[in-house]
Amino acid sequence: MVQGLSLIRVLQAGCLYRYGPPARTGLGHAPLAAAIGLALSCGSSPAGPAPTPQPQNQPPSVTAIEIEPARIELNEEVVVRAIVQDAETPPGSLLYEWSSDGGTFTGEGASVTWRPPADAATPADFPLRLTVRERYGPPNAQQEHRVTASSAPVRVHDSPTELREMSLKFLELFADSDKSPEECLVDFSDSCRGKESEREDIEDNRTYFDIRSASFEFDDLRILDDRLSARMAVECEFRSRYRACPPEDPGCVVGSTQEVKGFCLLTAVYENGRWWLCDSAFDPEEAPMPAPLRFFGKR
């Protein structure tokens, strides 16, 4: 008899059989399954709570690349430091790969030094690039994040060469009487009052003289400690012919020639990432006569 049986649950072959007391109906005995209180369900057993999903590994973040100093000479180097954050891996355990379009890095990790190539044409800008790598996951199935970033460019100069070449370029343009004042002053800073004074000198020179030959020998260079100004001296010699006679030179003969020797003295300023000429004057070997004064200006 199945009547009076307590609830029995049997799991067999993936099906759950549930036995219990017979159901009472007004129609007498119900069908067998109902009479014995059989409930049948097949399939998987009731599932437990779903596992909590693991957060995905986040890539590193390069928040800054610091450079000190940002402007250097060819024979100098800069200190470069990356500031990196990562949610899972300490910055010291990440992999750092530094690169640039030239030069050499010394050291490893987030802080290194960089020296520009010795043969770089200057002035030049060199951005420094960084790739940060993070390896994560089990040893037999490792994955990797790669994040790249670039620094602000390092400004590189060979100031002695740049100042020497700029000084000689100006004097060679000045010594060509076919060159206009605008062409001669191409490397003068607009912020210097000497530019307009030099323009007047060149205009006077073109009016009264035709320079037939000139020679120059760079003599001295001094860059001030702040690296924002410099002074140059060039030994100069000019041979010229009178086109017209200056008012202050009554003994002048049009068509005659004169020779002057001395030092061309120039100054320079550093502005907007480069050197510019600022002023020019002439220091003659002998006491200047009126014609040399007109030739080089009265400053």
Domain boundaries, the chain: 8-42, 61-157, 159-296
- Residue 297, pLDDT > 50, answer no
pLDDT at 250: 85
| CB distance 236 to 282 below 8 Å | yes
pLDDT at 52: 72
Closest CA relative to residue 296, chosen from 228, 219, 201: 201
pLDDT digits (tens, 9 = 90+) for 226-251: 999 999 999 999 999 999 999 888 88
pLDDT at 50: 73
pLDDT at 249: 86
The CATH code of domain 159-296 reads 3.10.450.50
- Residue 3, pLDDT > 70, answer no
The H or E element containing residue 279 is strand 274-284
pLDDT at 221: 98
pLDDT digits (tens, 9 = 90+) for 171-194: 999 999 999 999 999 999 999 999
pLDDT at 22: 53
pLDDT at 51: 72
Structure-block tokens of residue 294 = 């007109």
Q: What share of the chain is helix, strand, coil (3-state, %, to 5)?
A: 15, 40, 40
Band (pLDDT 50/70/90 cuts) for residue 14 is: very low
pLDDT digits (tens, 9 = 90+) for 144-180: 999 999 999 999 999 999 999 999 999 999 999 999 9
Thinking of the domain 61-157, which architecture would CATH place it in?
Sandwich (2.60)
For the residues 257-266, what does the mean pLDDT come to?
95
The distance from CA 137 to its chain's CA centroid, rounded to whole angstroms, is 35
